[in-house]
Chains A and B, each alone.
Chain A
Amino acid sequence: MALDSHGKREFKQIGTRVARPDGIDKVTGRALYGADMSAPGMLVGRILRSPHAHARILRIDTSEAEAIPGVKAVVTGADFSIPDDAALADISVNVMARTKALYDGHAVAAVAATSAQAAKAALKAIKVEYEVLPHVTDVDAAMAPDAPVVQKGRSLESVPAGMGANVTHHCEFGHGDLEAGFARADKIVERSFKTAATHQGYIEPHACLATMNGDGRADLWCCTQGQYMVRTVCAGVLGIEASQLRVTASEIGGGFGGKTTVFIEPVALMLAKKSGKPVKIVMTRDEVFKATGPTVSTSIDVKIGMTKAGRITAGAATLRYSGGAFPNTTVDMGAQAAFAAYDLDAVRTVGWNILTNRPKESAYRAPGAPQAIYAVESVVDELCLALNLDPLDVRILNAARKGTKSSYGPTFDDIGLLATLEAAKAHPHYNTPLKPGQSRGVSCGFWFNFGGNTCVSLNINTDGTVGVTEGNPDIGGSRASISLMAAEELGVPYDKVRTIIADTASLGYNDVTDGSRVTFAVGLATIKAARDAIKKMCGRVAKIWGIDEDAVEWRDGAAHPAGPNAGKFPPMTLEEIAAISFETGGPIAGHYEVNADGAGVSFGVHLCDLEVDKETGQTTILRYTVFQDAGKAVHPDYVEGQMQGGAVQGIGWALNEEYIYGADGRLLNAGFLDYRIPVASDLPKIDTQILEIPNPGHPYGVRGVGETGIVPPLAAVSNAVSRAIDVRMHELPMSPPRVLKAIKAARG
């Protein structure tokens, strides 16, 4: 659906910072999260996990565990069949190992018992006989032809013959004549980079409550980014019909992409089925780190040629990604996003996915893009330094714009990159001189954004209030934005609208909350559902007035005669129409369903000032500003929150966050003490500047803003650190030992 054509719309409520509807419940502890639901007779579910990075499971003896008083069910891989669909089969094997444990923390059995103590005792009593196999956790080591094989026969057809068995996917993007491009360059820089796997770091661990009755009807309450996805996957893994499983999403304490799949839900359902009782599983933090999705770990080569004037003549990259023990195609997104910010005649990216003995990757905010763009933006920065060019000028010179054939194929429509770069250039931050010892880093970022399957119902209540029913868990303030859009369209005050998130039985299918899609797609469907309701209200009024439906128009929350010819009637407000709806044809509701496209790509630019303690290698961020195109900021607080949150997660990724494996392939830092996300005192206030370049694909011009913010910080911080210490950094995280080592190595 296109941007409303009636020129520049004067919004009355869009763009205001109204109070969030979930705020009071959350600060008073009333909000119900995944672990907060209970049922009579409920059992405690616990999962036994492999202590080995890679091992054949020879035998599992559960008899002793089953004999423990209070233990009501024990399940292992033998209880699950393998679905035909490959993606479902992988999820099924990930939630419960079959023949092999593929990573430290892989589930091998589960119990349900009447108490936590009995469940714990049962886990101890399960005897698993393993044959420990050689393992591999490093992406480059796993690509070698003689590497331990994580899973056999998983390579897609895209992989050319002769590659190692762990290589499962290959992709290529680009256009133009690379050789000719490089020949035109005055300077070429070619570098290799590595980035560590990072975890989404949501505060709420995965939790669910499952019941399954004797008649096969099941209910699931869980913390997820998509209840319909949970239904599809669990029904598929358990072999039941979707209609038999109702899934309700709880409030969610963060997801960032990590809750777009399932880990414990099929296991809880299986335990509920076997025991005949409700089963609750709540993951520990240790389990969250070991067994839920970190992002990919990567190894990337980048080569860029530039003229003395700063024009990029050619760019090439090879990306090797590993999303753990199961095949995935996240590298496609990295390979497409790597050079998206640039208008290039010659560009080529090649991607590989490689299996390693690590947990199965889950999406993490702009999956695959931060790593690729980090590598490209690092090389661009090195070229700027070498050629003595201003890093923003170079990006402005090369920026993709409307009409640019993107590095991944499509031609861009209206995009906000140039405006964003120019805003950064003009901002006081960029024009504040640095003090001695300080340095400044710059990076662009990009994300595709997504629309997808969406279904919304909008009910006009008889008292003149409005209920919006949508199907996407609110991970970033979407309920406020959806209510604002409904209020704007209907012309009623924001506080007359309440938006709720339906369970899977109460509303048609909705894709998961991902791809920064909700404010865009659910917003679009809400506006359309409101227009549907308006049409119905106008119809009712036409009947009352005895005129044509077309002769009634909606303005400022009321039906009016469309013009002098329509007759003279006093306007009827939504409240008045609603009050008499039972006499005019019954309840009034609007509805809309769509598979939305036109999400509109999003660009951002980040500026980072910092200093490095040259005796300890410690980095202190001093000033940080995010510039991002929001299309139209429906609720600016939330947009700024997304920009700040993305920046902070990216800064953590750049400086300290990493999955650390021991020589035995076991994860050494499965907790927030040694998996270091930034704490509040580590950072200055993150400044933001929202740009509004309307997205042609949305009636109000909205673009998704949830993901782009995590893309630029990796290079913005790395470029600033590299400038501060006068040594180019090539690996993330830039933890103090790594930075100090680089400083000392450069000193000789």
Chain B
Amino acid sequence: MRYEKPQTVAEAARLLTGEKGLSRILAGGTDVLVQLKAGLVEPDLVVDIKALPGVRSIVAEAGGFRIGAAVSNAQLGEDKAVRALWPGVVEAANLIGSTQVQGRATMVGNLCNASPAADAVPALVAAGAVARVAGPGAARDVPVEKIPTGPGKTKLKRGEFITSIFLPARPPRSADAYLRFIPRTEMDIAVASAAVSLTLDEDGRIAAARVALGAVAPTVLLVEAAAKAILGSRLEDPALEALAAACSAAASPIDDKRGTVEFRKDVVGVLAKRAARIAYTRAGGQS
């Protein structure tokens, strides 16, 4: 196994494209190293992206933020400006693992590990975040929900990798929230999760909404019917019930050791309701 730490994007792309065997990109390593230790993957090449220019910084851009691919979740959590604009994204990223894991884990790693239960991803999807993909060709921007294609699989082509995530600007009276269900209080993996991002009009009615669900399908789901269910509402009970019902209906989970189909369908609706209420309050809505 070879370990490389390229200093430029071009060099990283060249290394990854040139490798004939199996290669793995290394960000925080909190998935990769665990998989190596368990013998799940035996790569020939590991490319550490942490020395690429700009990957460790958070930069304001067009009213939003560009977050480097190697920014740890701990670093993200300490950024007051990002927290103020996208509290749901930051709370989702900060739920991952423990203090030790937070010091290394990244949102991009979370996204590219492509677990349906990844915590940061539903919040990024609800936020309409965009990933910047580099590789042998020109860089391109891809909405985050387009990156994972199934458990452990992404749309990234050979030699491609993500250099940053862009969180867009928001109108006033906007906020987001993320909730997951785990049987314990921490150090666990989501059995179901929901992220809600919304913008209110001046009357406190929901003018725009995005609802994303985790751990209830092979990839994170962006559920338009769920968003529609609360549009124009002030989250009155019927709207909340319609939101929950739309989420339960959209979910197509499996039975496994962590939960049953029935449980996941029920709970994802409950989480969506609760996340919507938090986002609504954060956006200044009075319920």
Which of A668, A736, A744 is within 8 Å of B183, CB to CB? A736
- Chain A interfacial positions (CB closer than 8 Å to B): 120, 286, 615-618, 655-656, 660, 668-669, 673-674, 676, 678-679, 681-682, 735-737, 740-741, 744
Known interface pairs A681-B186, A682-B185; A740-B257 also in contact (CB < 8 Å): no
- B266 and A740 form a contact (CB under 8 A): yes
Interface centre among A616, A674, A736 (most CB of B within 10 A): A616
Listed by A's residue number, 23 A-B pairs whose Cβ atoms lie within 8 Å are A286-B38, A615-B266, A615-B270, A616-B267, A616-B270, A618-B181, A618-B183, A656-B184, A660-B257, A668-B257, A674-B257, A676-B183, A676-B188, A678-B184, A679-B185, A679-B186, A681-B184, A681-B186, A682-B185, A736-B183, A737-B263, A740-B263, A740-B267
CB pair B189–A673 under 8 Å, yes or no, is yes
176-219 of chain B: CB within 8 A of chain A: 181, 183-189, 191
Contact among A120, A678, A681, A736 with B263 in the assembled complex (CB-CB below 8 Å): A736
Q: Which applies to chain B's interface (DSSP): helix, strand, loop or mixed?
A: loop
Q: What interface size band does chain B fall in?
A: 20 to 34
Smallest CB separation, A200 vs chain B (Å) = 19
Chain B hits for A656, CB < 8 A: 183-184
Q: Are B257 and A737 neighbours in the complex by a CB distance under 8 Å?
A: no
- Cα of A97 to Cα of B258 in the assembled complex, Å: 32
Check A676/B257 contact, CB under 8 A, given A737-B263, A740-B263, A740-B266.
Answer: no
Does the CB pair A741–B262 fall under 8 Å? Answer: yes
Q: How far is the CA of A678 from the CA of B266 in the complex (A)?
A: 24
* Chain A residues positioned under 8 Å from B262 (CB to CB): 737, 741
Q: Taking the complex as formed, is B260 at the interface, i.e. its CB lies under 8 A from any CB of chain A?
A: yes
Give the chain A neighbours of B263 by CB distance below 8 A. 617, 736-737, 740-741
Point out residues on B near A: beta carbons under 8 Å.
38-39, 181, 183-189, 191, 257-260, 262-263, 266-267, 270
Known: A740-B266, A741-B263. A669 touches B257 (CB 8 A): yes
Please indicate the chain B residues that have their CB under 8 angstroms from the CB of A615 in the complex.
Answer: 266-267, 270
A676 CA / B188 CA spacing, docked (Å): 9
Q: How far is the CA of A682 from the CA of B38 in the complex (A)?
A: 28
Provide the bound-state CA to CA distance between A39 and B263, in Å: 53
Report Cα–Cα, A437/B257, bound state, in Å.
Answer: 29
Known: A615-B266, A679-B186, A736-B183. 13 other contacts (CB 8 A): A120-B39, A286-B38, A615-B267, A616-B270, A656-B184, A668-B257, A673-B187, A679-B184, A682-B184, A682-B185, A736-B259, A737-B260, A741-B260
Query: A120's closest neighbor in chain B, by CB?
Result: B39
Closest Cβ–Cβ distance, residue A111 to chain B (whole Å): 15
Q: How far does the alpha carbon of A737 sit from the alpha carbon of B184 in the complex, in Å?
A: 13
Q: How far is the CB of B253 from chain A (nearest CB, A)?
A: 12
Q: How far in angstroms is the closest Cβ of chain B from A653?
A: 14
Contacts of B267 in A (CB 8 A): 615-616, 736, 740
CB neighbours of A678 from chain B (8 A)? 184
6 nearest A-B residue pairs (beta carbon): A737-B263, A681-B185, A615-B270, A668-B257, A660-B257, A682-B185
**What's the nearest-Cβ distance from chain B to residue A281, in Å?**
17
Choose among B184, B260, B266 the residue that contacts A676 (Cβ–Cβ < 8 A). Answer: B184
> Nearest chain A CB to B87's CB is how many angstroms away?
21
Contact B187 A616 (CB under 8 A): no
Inter-subunit contact B181/A616 (CB<8 Å): yes
Give the contacting residue for B259; candidates A669, A673, A681, A737; CB below 8 A: A737
Given known A-B contacts A660-B257, A674-B258, A679 and B183 have beta carbons under 8 A apart: no
CB contacts (< 8 Å) of B260 on chain A: these are: 737, 741
A603 CB to closest chain B CB, in angstroms?
A: 31
Cα A737 to Cα B264 in complex, Å, equals 9
Q: How far is B184's CA from A681's CA once the two chains are assembled, in angstroms? A: 8
B21 to nearest A CB, angstroms? 17
Q: Which residue of B lies closest to A735 (CB)?
A: B183
By a CB distance below 8 angstroms, the chain B residues around A737 are 259-260, 262-263
Distance of A735 Cα from B183 Cα, bound (Å): 7
In the complex, A615 Cα to B266 Cα: how many Å? 8
> Residue on B with the closest CB to A619?
B183
- Do A673 and B188 touch (CB < 8 A)? yes
Alpha-carbon distance A656/B263, docked complex (angstroms): 15
